[in-house]
Amino acid sequence: MKITADIVNMDHERKPAVVSFRGREYELPSRDAELLDKLMAAEKSIFAAESGREKAEALKQGISAFLGSAAADELYPDIMHADLDEMRRIYNIMVELAAKRSREIIEEEYLSHD
């Protein structure tokens, strides 16, 4: 008995997720092991933070995982006076957007082929 399966055609171009903040658009990186490692480290630091500075630095680390350190430095140059609620919201939005994009990719590319 021969078992066969159709392989999904991987010859396509994915559209990146984009987040707009303070009048600029940022393209989020694809979800890969490097991004996941950075996010896991940031989450660990966010929950382990024992001071406001540590919390802000951890959130900036998470934002930096998505936008790069130059963009994070530009957005939050004075970490001691950064709005922690805003930072957490921005970080959460990017995490959710990346997860949503991942679900869309799975659905579009792997589950809905003919």
Task: Find the mean pLDDT for residues 24-39.
Answer: 89
Q: Which long-range contacts does 53-62 make (Cβ < 8 Å, 24+ apart)?
A: 53/79, 53/80, 55/84, 56/80, 56/82, 56/84, 56/87, 59/84, 59/87, 59/88, 59/91, 60/87, 62/38, 62/91, 62/94, 62/95
Residue 110 has pLDDT above 80, yes or no: no
Residue 13's pLDDT is what? 65
pTM of the model: 0.80
Residue 12's pLDDT is what? 56
Alpha carbon of residue 38 to chain centroid: 9
Q: Which residue ranges make up each domain of the chain? A: 31-111
